[in-house]
């Protein structure tokens, strides 16, 4: 067998360098003179040829689908920022007004490796310059009017490439990517700033208010057993997606908060919003003109939100649905009816959206129509009571930082005899940071409350006695006249 002389190492390296230089020259000329469309075609052709020879499969996730932001791209952006490792040498940091903290995202051409059920998946963010503008000014303007996130001409095309073994294609598409979508949404929700929406001209006000309320369940002043039961109910709700789907009900939960003013209804709502990281939609029914506007407002709400209707007994002056015709006759300008409200919170329209909490508050539960209170509308009724000793201990910890004191036993006895709201007790504890002076002041306040209570009781008894004597005198006088 004839054998030729093998080329030396120097010759091989020289040839390789020549090929590399030629490739770089061709690439440089292509970038400089060839249209962007041809460059994309060239890249696509080379990638297609390479993929046919490879055991790897590649999925491309574009940043946009037409003029609409691709939800999968956004979810991947969120998710990949959480799996960067110490070996990652470059990331991007940023923050918007809607985010609580700095957000980490993947930088261009940085490879990130993820493992899902023993499948290695390589991610890479690709960015290609769009020399002629990816879209026209007219198209960009149309997208801006529709509320697009990127309202200027796009000068670059961004997409993610994820590569993995071809045999795992079905698992990645059917299991991994839905997992990325779900995780991305959770990460986005956890990092968002909670906002308060109010009604303006029959629509949710675009100028929303950021809520930075510090109240949490840890610092919330309410009976410990009621607080525990509520938190368990909320946990069952947020983990109940499959349960609600299985029983065929909309994924929502209703709560009625009732009790006298100053018992902490607003603080509880703030604690629930912080616990769930849900936006709050504050609905004053007197601002709504008709039932159809209620439906529009419902459609305008985001999922994972809390709808609050405060003082429901004052907003809808209906005791039962049979009196609606009479109500409309006397209130021609306000066409919101009890039936309209019931359909709003529990009808077909209530299924437009998911993961929603509906909260009614009232000082007078007995004034509400029973139709509002049944399970499925108001699933849990929470009595916001006067200050109990359990609630006071939380207040003492919050305001004075103490767990124990020789006056606590006396305060417990007084709280069992007099009705004071948590707001009243907090007002006394705020007067000084000296624990001894503060608690003595509270004891004096509670004694005064008891004294007022006895005086009112004595006055009522005296009044009743006088009325009884007057009635007896009238009866006696009538007998004498006969």
Reported pTM:
0.66
411 and 440 fall within a common domain: yes
* Residue 7 within a domain: no
Number of CB atoms found within 10 A of residue 416's CB: 9
pLDDT at residue 473 is higher than 90: no
Condensed to tens digits (0 to 9), the pLDDT of residues 395-404 reads: 999 999 988 9
To the nearest 10 degrees (0 to 180), the angle between helices 389-400 and 435-481 is: 140
* Listed residues 344, 368, 383: the one ending a domain: 383
CA distances from 292 to 190, 300, 324, 332, 349 (A): 33, 13, 16, 15, 11
Condensed to tens digits (0 to 9), the pLDDT of residues 278-288 reads: 999 999 888 88
Which residues, at least 6 apart from 347, have a Cβ–Cβ distance to it below 8 Å? none
pLDDT at residue 178 is higher than 80: yes
pLDDT at residue 50 is higher than 80: no
* Residue 12 within a domain: no
347 and 404 fall within a common domain: no
User: What pLDDT, on a 0 to 100 scale, did the predictor assign at position 319?
Assistant: 40
User: What pLDDT, on a 0 to 100 scale, did the predictor assign at position 345?
Assistant: 80
pLDDT at residue 221 is higher than 80: yes
154 and 264 fall within a common domain: no
- What is the span of the domain harbouring residue 426? 389-469
70 and 145 fall within a common domain: yes
pLDDT-derived band at 60 (thresholds 50, 70, 90) equals: very high
* Listed residues 159, 191, 223: the one ending a domain: 191
Query: What is the mean predicted confidence (pLDDT) over 52-74?
Result: 85
DSSP string, 16-39: HHHHHHHHHHHHHHHHHHS-HHHH
The encoded tokens of residue 312 equal 């429901």
Report how far residue 90's alpha carbon sits from residue 105's, in angstroms, rounded to the nearest whole number: 10
User: What pLDDT, on a 0 to 100 scale, did the predictor assign at position 55?
Assistant: 83
Report how far residue 163's alpha carbon sits from residue 113's, in angstroms, rounded to the nearest whole number: 10
Q: How many domains does the chain have?
A: 3
Condensed to tens digits (0 to 9), the pLDDT of residues 103-123 reads: 677 778 888 889 999 899 999
* Residue 1 within a domain: no
* Residue 306 within a domain: yes
93 and 55 fall within a common domain: yes
Distance of CA 366 to the CA centre of its chain: 31
CB neighbour class for 147 (10 Å; exposed up to 12, middle 13-18, buried from 19): exposed
* Listed residues 383, 413, 429: the one ending a domain: 383
For residue 359, the number of C-alpha atoms closer than 13 Å in the C-beta half-sphere is: 25
User: What pLDDT, on a 0 to 100 scale, did the predictor assign at position 265?
Assistant: 93
204 and 278 fall within a common domain: yes
Query: What is the mean predicted confidence (pLDDT) over 436-458?
Result: 88
Average pLDDT score over the chain: 79
User: What pLDDT, on a 0 to 100 scale, did the predictor assign at position 321?
Assistant: 46
224 and 103 fall within a common domain: no
User: What pLDDT, on a 0 to 100 scale, did the predictor assign at position 140?
Assistant: 42
180 and 103 fall within a common domain: yes
pLDDT-derived band at 272 (thresholds 50, 70, 90) equals: very high
133 and 270 fall within a common domain: no
pLDDT at residue 477 is higher than 60: yes
Query: What is the mean predicted confidence (pLDDT) over 441-459?
Result: 86
CA angle 175, 180, 181 (to 5 degrees): 100
Report how far residue 128's alpha carbon sits from residue 35's, in angstroms, rounded to the nearest whole number: 12
């Amino acid at each position: 067998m004839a054998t030729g002389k093998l080329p030396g190492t120097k010759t091989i390296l020289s040839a390789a360098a020549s090929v590399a230089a030629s490739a770089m020259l061709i690439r440089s000329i292509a970038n400089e003179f060839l249209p962007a469309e041809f460059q994309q075609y060239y890249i696509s052709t080379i990638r297609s040829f390479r993929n046919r020879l490879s055991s790897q499969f590649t999925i491309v996730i574009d940043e946009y689908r037409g003029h609409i932001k691709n939800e999968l791209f956004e979810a991947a952006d969120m998710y990949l920022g959480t799996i960067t490792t110490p070996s990652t040498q470059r990331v991007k940091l940023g923050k918007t007004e809607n985010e609580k903290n700095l957000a980490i995202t993947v930088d261009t051409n940085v490879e990130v490796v993820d493992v899902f059920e023993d499948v290695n998946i390589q991610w890479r963010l690709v960015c290609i310059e769009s020399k002629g503008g990816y879209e026209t000014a007219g198209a960009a303007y149309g997208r801006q009017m529709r509320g697009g996130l990127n309202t200027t001409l796009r000068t670059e095309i961004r997409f993610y490439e994820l590569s993995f073994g071809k045999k795992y294609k079905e698992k990645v598409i059917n299991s991994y990517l839905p997992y990325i979508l779900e995780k991305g949404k959770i990460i986005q929700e956890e990092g968002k700033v909670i906002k308060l929406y109010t009604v303006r001209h029959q629509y949710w006000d675009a100028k929303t208010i950021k809520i930075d309320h510090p109240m949490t369940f840890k610092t919330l002043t309410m009976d410990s057993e009621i607080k525990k039961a509520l938190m368990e109910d909320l946990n069952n709700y947020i983990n109940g997606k499959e349960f609600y789907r299985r029983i065929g009900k909309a994924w929502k939960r209703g709560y009625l908060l009732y009790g006298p003013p100053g018992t902490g209804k607003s603080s509880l709502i703030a604690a629930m919003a912080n616990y769930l990281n849900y936006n709050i939609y504050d609905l004053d029914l007197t601002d709504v003109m008709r039932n159809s506007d209620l439906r529009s407002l419902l459609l305008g709400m985001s999922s994972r939100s809390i709808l609050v209707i405060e003082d429901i007994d004052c907003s809808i002056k209906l005791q039962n649905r049979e009196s609606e015709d009479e109500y409309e006759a006397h209130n021609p300008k306000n066409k919101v009816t009890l039936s309209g409200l019931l359909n709003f919170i529990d009808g077909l329209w209530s299924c437009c959206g998911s993961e929603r909490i509906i909260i009614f508050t009232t000082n007078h539960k007995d004034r509400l129509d029973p139709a509002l209170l049944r399970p499925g509308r108001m699933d849990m009724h929470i009595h916001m009571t006067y200050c109990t000793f359990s609630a006071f201990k939380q207040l003492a910890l919050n305001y004075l930082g103490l767990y124990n004191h020789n006056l606590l036993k006396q305060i417990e006895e007084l709280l069992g005899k007099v009705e004071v709201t948590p707001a009243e007790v907090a007002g006394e504890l705020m007067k000084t940071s000296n624990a001894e002076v503060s608690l003595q002041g509270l004891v004096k306040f509670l004694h005064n409350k008891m004294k007022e209570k006895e005086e009112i009781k004595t006055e009522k008894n005296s009044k009743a006695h006088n009325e009884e004597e007057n009635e007896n005198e009238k009866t006696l006088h009538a007998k004498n006249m006969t």
